């Protein structure tokens, strides 16, 4: 019998609706206490005004919620020197947003590199990421890197090298079960033998490799139950962030709608109960 563990439950609330009021009302009703801020009213978090960000912060507070992380798209670009400079500046915007809503986590990626150049470009990609880590350190921010299925460190060998070289208190991992499947990897064989000490956040969605279909947690090949059980056994603590993509998935986000979002929450709660996990209010 695994020990009981309490985790924080959060979500990319723009999966529910573009409307902030609908987002927070749905999170409150379903007992999801955290909001990962990616967009409001169709406007990406990097383009929200300071007043917009304050409105998010205030509305969450009124509902007893909190902003869990800034879900930025930083580094979702091809590797080149111009993009490196632009993404550094975009990270500054993400950090300003984080300060405005009083949160320390900023979600990022690694840039895209042609498959045949992954090894050749490794040192340059890591240098790109190290500069961003140093910026975050100076601002008191934790960068959480997501293994999105099109980018350099979506591959476990690349991600392992990245985390071994620059992972630490200000540079950690947002592990996405579905993205793993979409790359043809498996959680328990390819990632969890080494990644658990680096994980800050879990992104909760599941997938079927052959069809590339995104499905509710536990209905695909992401091994969510086994992964969460392994984290409980390791004494890990962190947020589980629902990112279901059940109605649509695109390069900069996804959508589920109110009803499918509730399906996703209930699916995760079922897995959590089997793993001995409870969620903080």
pLDDT at 245: 87
Provide block-wise average pLDDT over 10 residues at a time, the chain (281 residues).
73 96 97 97 97 97 97 97 97 98 98 96 98 98 94 97 98 98 97 98 97 96 98 94 83 81 96 90 65
CATH assignment of the domain containing 207? 3.20.20.150
Say what the pLDDT of residue 280 is: 79
Would you tell me how many other CB atoms lie within 10 Å of the CB of residue 63?
A: 17
Residue 133's domain spans which residues?
A: 5-279
pLDDT value at residue 6: 80
Number of domains in the chain: 1
For residue 10, give Cα distances in angstroms to 31, 164, 200, 221, 274. Answer: 9, 27, 13, 22, 19
Q: How many CB atoms are closer than 10 A to CB 219?
A: 14
pLDDT of amino acid 1: 43
Contact, 147 vs 181, CB < 8 A?
A: no
List pLDDT tens digits, range 187-221: 999 999 999 999 999 999 999 999 999 999 999 99
- pLDDT attached to residue 79: 97
- Relative to beta strand 199-204, strand 239-242 is parallel
Contacts with 85 (C-beta within 8 Å, 6 or more apart), sequence order: none
């Amino acid at each position: 019998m695994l020990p009981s563990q309490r985790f924080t439950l959060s979500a990319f609330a723009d999966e529910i609706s573009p409307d902030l009021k609908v987002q927070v009302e749905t999170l409150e009703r379903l007992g999801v206490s955290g909001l990962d801020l990616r967009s409001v009213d169709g406007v990406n978090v990097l383009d929200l005004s300071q007043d917009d960000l304050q409105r998010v912060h205030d509305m969450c507070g009124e509902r007893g919620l909190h902003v869990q992380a800034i879900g930025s798209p930083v580094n979702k670009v091809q590797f080149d020197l111009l993009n490196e400079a632009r993404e550094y500046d975009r990270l500054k915007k993400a950090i300003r947003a984080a300060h405005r809503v009083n949160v320390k986590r900023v979600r990022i990626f690694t840039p895209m590199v042609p498959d045949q150049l992954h090894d050749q470009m490794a040192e340059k990609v890591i240098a790109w990421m190290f500069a961003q880590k140093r910026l975050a350190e100076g601002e008191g921010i934790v960068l959480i890197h997501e293994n999105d299925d099109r980018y350099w460190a979506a591959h476990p060998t690349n991600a392992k090298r990245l985390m071994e070289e620059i992972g630490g208190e200000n540079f950690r991992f947002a592990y996405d079960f579905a993205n793993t499947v979409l790359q043809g990897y498996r959680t328990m064989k390819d990632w969890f033998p080494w990644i658990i000490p680096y994980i800050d956040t879990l992104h909760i969605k599941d997938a079927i490799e052959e069809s590339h279909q995104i499905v509710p947690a536990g209905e695909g090949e992401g091994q969510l139950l086994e992964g969460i059980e392994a984290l409980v056994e390791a004494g890990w603590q962190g947020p589980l962030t629902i990112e279901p993509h059940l109605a649509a998935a695109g390069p900069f986000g996804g959508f589920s709608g109110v009803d499918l979002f509730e399906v996703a929450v209930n699916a995760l709660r079922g897995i959590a109960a089997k793993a001995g996990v409870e969620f903080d209010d």
